[in-house]
Amino acid sequence: MLASIIASGLALGAVYALIGITYNVMFAASRVMSFTAGQLGMLGGVFGALFVGRLGVPGPVGLVLTLAACAAVGVLTEIIAVRPVLASLEKHLYVLSTLAAALLIQQLTAIEWSTEPQPFPRLLGLGSGILDEKFWLPVLACAAVIGGLEWMYRRTLVGRAFIAIAEDNFAARALGLPERRLRMASFALAGAVAGLAGFSSGQLLLAFFANGAMLNFYGFVPVALGGLGNNRGAVLGGLALGLFQQAANFTVGGVFASVLVFTVFIVVLLAAPQGLFGAPAVRRV
Amino acid sequence: MTTRRNLVLGAAAAPLLGRLAVAQSAAVPAGEPLRIGWLAALTGASSAPAVGFNRGVVFAADELNAAGGVQGRKVEIITRDTQGDPTKAVNATQELISRAKVHAIWGPTNSGEALATTPIMARAKMPCVHPCVVDSLIDPVKFPNAFRMAPSNGQWDDAVRAYLLNTLEVRDVAVFGDTTGYGTSAVAASVAAFAKDSANVVNQSLIDATQPDVTPDMLRAKTAGARAIVVWSVSVGMLSRLMNVRNALGWDVPIVGHPSLGSGEIRGLLEKPGNWEKVFMVGYRSCSFGEDGKLPERSQAFVAKLAGKVALHDTSLWWVACGYDAVKLIAAAVESSGASTSEAIIGAWNHTTAYPGIFGDYSYSPENHNGYPQADVVMSRANSQRDGTFALAPGFA
Residues 177-236, chain A, touching B (beta carbon < 8 A): 201, 204-206, 208, 210-211, 213-214
Q: Find the domain containing B273 and state its range.
A: 154-290+378-391
* Same domain as B387, residue B357: no
CB A137 within 8 A of CB A144: no
> CA nearest A5 in B: which residue?
B216
In sequence order, the 6+-apart residues with CB closer than 8 A to the CB of B194 are B161, B173, B175, B200, B201
* Same domain as B212, residue B130: no
CB B109 within 8 A of CB B40: yes
* Same domain as B240, residue B386: yes
Q: How many helices (H) and strands (E) does chain B have?
A: 13, 15
pLDDT tens per residue, range A172-219: 888 888 888 999 999 999 999 999 999 999 999 999 999 999 999 999
Residues 145-204, chain B, touching A (beta carbon < 8 A): 179
A269 within domain boundaries? no
B342 within domain boundaries? yes
Chain A positions touching B224 (Cβ under 8 A) are none
Residue B27 has pLDDT above 60, yes or no: no
A232 within domain boundaries? no
A64 within domain boundaries? yes
* Same domain as B197, residue B279: yes
B397 within domain boundaries? no
In sequence order, the 6+-apart residues with CB closer than 8 A to the CB of A281 are A274
| Contact across the interface for A119 and B248, Cβ inside 8 Å | no
| Contact across the interface for A253 and B205, Cβ inside 8 Å | yes
**CA-to-CA distance for A138 and A132, rounded, in angstroms?**
11
Which residue from B316, B337, B332 is spatially nearest to B371, judged by alpha carbons? B332
> CA nearest B184 in A: which residue?
A255
* Same domain as B146, residue B175: no
Can you give the length of chain B in residues? 397
Chain B positions touching A119 (Cβ under 8 A) are 268-269
Pairing mode of beta strands B361-364, B255-257: unpaired
Chain B positions touching A117 (Cβ under 8 A) are 236-237, 240, 265, 269
Nearest chain A CA: its distance from B275 CA (Å): 15
In a 3-state reduction of DSSP, which class is residue B386?
strand
Q: Find the domain containing A130 and state its range.
A: 2-220
Chain center to CA of A203: 17
| Contact across the interface for A253 and B179, Cβ inside 8 Å | no
Residue A49 has pLDDT above 70, yes or no: yes
* Same domain as B262, residue B316: no
Cα distances (Å, whole numbers) of residue B189 to B153, B300, B341, B374? 9, 35, 37, 17
Does residue B84 come out as left (phi exceeding 0), alpha (psi in the -120 to 50 range) or beta? left
**CA-to-CA distance for A188 and A40, rounded, in angstroms?**
11
Count structural domains, chain B. Answer: 2
Chain A and chain B share a number of CB contacts under 8 A equal to 73
- Residue ranges of the alpha helices (H) in chain B? 2-12, 17-25, 48-66, 86-98, 111-123, 153-162, 181-196, 215-223, 236-248, 266-269, 297-306, 317-337, 342-349
Q: For residue B384, what is the domain's CATH number?
A: 3.40.50.2300
* Same domain as B182, residue B282: yes
| Least confident window among A117-121, A247-251, B188-192, B202-206 | A247-251
CB B337 within 8 A of CB B131: no
* Same domain as B321, residue B229: no
Residue A127 contacts B, CB cutoff 8 Å: no
pLDDT tens per residue, range A110-146: 889 988 889 999 999 898 888 899 999 999 999 999 9
By the 10 Å C-beta count (0-12 exposed, 13-18 middle, 19+ buried), B194 is classed as buried
CB B194 within 8 A of CB B201: yes
* Same domain as B261, residue B314: no
Residue A119 contacts B, CB cutoff 8 Å: yes
Which residue from B220, B212, B275 is spatially nearest to A134, judged by alpha carbons? B212
- Higher model confidence: residue A278 or residue B40? B40
Chain B positions touching A106 (Cβ under 8 A) are none
**CA-to-CA distance for B371 and B131, rounded, in angstroms?**
10
**CA-to-CA distance for B160 and B261, rounded, in angstroms?**
13
By the 10 Å C-beta count (0-12 exposed, 13-18 middle, 19+ buried), A181 is classed as exposed
A24 within domain boundaries? yes
B281 within domain boundaries? yes
Nearest chain A CA: its distance from B224 CA (Å): 12
Which residue from B160, B131, B126 is spatially nearest to B145, judged by alpha carbons? B126
Cα end-to-end span (Å), chain B = 57
* Same domain as B327, residue B279: no
CB B327 within 8 A of CB B64: yes
* Highest mean pLDDT out of A247-256, B37-46, B71-80: B71-80
Which of A214, A249, A258 is facing B216, going by the closest CB pair?
A: A249
* Same domain as B53, residue B11: yes
Count structural domains, chain A. Answer: 1
A236 within domain boundaries? no
* Highest mean pLDDT out of A18-22, A269-273, B27-31: A18-22
> CA nearest A135 in B: which residue?
B213
B190 within domain boundaries? yes
Tell me, what's the pLDDT at B82?
A: 93
* Same domain as B221, residue B101: no
CB B255 within 8 A of CB B242: yes
CB B145 within 8 A of CB B127: yes
Tell me, what's the pLDDT at A138?
A: 97
